[in-house]
Structure 1
């Protein structure tokens, strides 16, 4: 049943007609509920509310798989302006960005030019930029870009996905850079040739990655809504005397808000992933596909006042 549900929402995420309809009439429903707003300035008030409750943030301008050079440059400008506004407003926020939004599928030189401009600004203003991980086909290119920039910039991080077979090796290779990593289970539909098809195997691999990274002493983000993984991380930290300031939890905006606040109250760092922009529909469907329990969280978030 879980596989059927996942495939159904992944199918919906790629439906162009529904995506266009969502952009035309759904923005106001999503804004302030599952996305910050339709642009970054309209998201600032929601970010400030989260900060006032002790929650840190990372923001992401929605939209990926860009096939136009001009659009990739527009996304670059948007990211730079967002970083500048974060600094100007004094927000406790980082930035997440997908390489396909900067032109990964167009030209490698274009991606490097765009990312260099973003990181030059981020380095100057001391704002962390996380390279979001996409599907497995783009995984190696994304990691190569990260490794290259990590040798020259401090304020850069990336994401590893537990459902891929390759990820344990990727983690071991990356640790020479002592990187700030976000560990996730993974949300794209992948072939069993490259990804664990069974949830139990993904969970076990996720635990292995969390343990490896926390015991290394490298600051790590555990991005999950799964209570079992949260408790596993907390117990691991307790058993090995790992202080709460050596890692953070991350969750999606509008989902499990009570749990987010409880973690802050208990002394843990909690960062909320706040996307913004018109392309909210595909993002929303993938989150529902990622974990069936997200459906209930999302409906609750969408209907809150």
Structure 2
């Protein structure tokens, strides 16, 4: 953490994370908290991850900070059984509904996509506005998945991302330009659907495209927000707030930070330079 991960991870404890959320809120930024962890293969670990999510919702409510919760269902035992994961999701969403908060289910690798959709559909029908999903632009099937979700539900809060997992060209666009094009396509599509769009990007082209599109189509600012990762382009995050846009920061915390941190380096190798530089600071 001292060698650079702290740039992207808001501490190892929930207390540290809540303090960072409080600081972000003071600058007009809203947050989604994520207790790091994925691919657990032990029921006790899955229960512990579930309890961590419940603790996050309690801490948000008790502290009064403006944040919701993001989670990965593999951390809740999805690889052990669908039923176990559903049991844990019900506990979490019961509490989110009690506090009138919101839980975002992160989309993971392609191998988990179908079961994630199945669980999400079941939960969406029961918990409505309190649960949302992430959609990845680099998958060929994304547009069809979005059309189904938008048509099937009265409200559909989606976080739109390009995608951060290594996937086969059989299921995902292998070319960055194709991913970028599809990303703009799904942004336009979801904004025009009338549903809430969380445009999760650090790409100036996508940000400017979104600004122009909502202005051209008279889409109110209340129908979308920008999202960025904690520690990535913080100046731009604050500029968007000053311009009057909602800006939500994805704030991860916890001991199991290595996988998340590694993906941030893989996505943008320049981040590695930051870490190397820190290694030689006194």
Q: Does TM-score exceed 0.5, indicating one fold?
A: yes
1:191 paired with 2:168, answer: yes
User: What is the Cα deviation at residue 238 of structure 1?
Assistant: 1.0
CA distance in 2 between partners of 1:204 and 1:187 (Å):
16
CA distance in 2 between partners of 1:130 and 1:201 (Å):
26
Map 1:259-278 onto structure 2 (within 5 A): 259-278=236-255
Give 2:91's aligned residue: 117
Give the 3-state SS of the residue equivalent to 1:105 in structure 2: coil
Map 1:1-305 onto structure 2 (within 5 A): 26=1, 29-31=4-6, 33-153=7-127, 154-175=129-150, 176-177=152-153, 178-292=155-269
CA gap 1:124/1:301 in 2 versus in 1, 3 angstroms: farther
Q: Which runs of 5+ in 1 are unaligned?
A: 1-25
Q: Conserved in 1, the CA contact under 8 Å of 2:4 and 2:278?
A: no
Give the 3-state SS of the residue equivalent to 1:65 in structure 2: coil
Give the 3-state SS of the residue equivalent to 1:152 in structure 2: helix
Q: Conserved in 1, the CA contact under 8 Å of 2:4 and 2:275?
A: no
- What are the superposed Cα offsets for residues 91-121 of structure 1, whole Å, 9 maximum, x if unpaired? 1101001010000100111001100000000
> Across the two proteins, how many residue pairs are aligned to each other?
278
Q: Conserved in 2, the CA contact under 8 Å of 1:254 and 1:302?
A: no
Give the 3-state SS of the residue equivalent to 1:151 in structure 2: helix
Q: Conserved in 2, the CA contact under 8 Å of 1:30 and 1:302?
A: no
- What are the superposed Cα offsets for residues 237-265 of structure 1, whole Å, 9 maximum, x if unpaired? 11111121210000000110000000000
Give the 3-state SS of the residue equivalent to 2:79 in structure 1: coil
User: What is the Cα deviation at residue 82 of structure 1?
Assistant: 0.8
CA distance in 2 between partners of 1:259 and 1:242 (Å):
22
- What are the superposed Cα offsets for residues 50-106 of structure 1, whole Å, 9 maximum, x if unpaired? 000000000111110000001001110110011011011111101001010000100
Moved over 2 A (4+): 26-31, 290-304
Deviates more, 1:292-301 or 1:248-257: 292-301
Q: Conserved in 1, the CA contact under 8 Å of 2:201 and 2:227?
A: yes
Q: Conserved in 1, the CA contact under 8 Å of 2:96 and 2:102?
A: yes
User: What is the Cα deviation at residue 290 of structure 1?
Assistant: 2.4
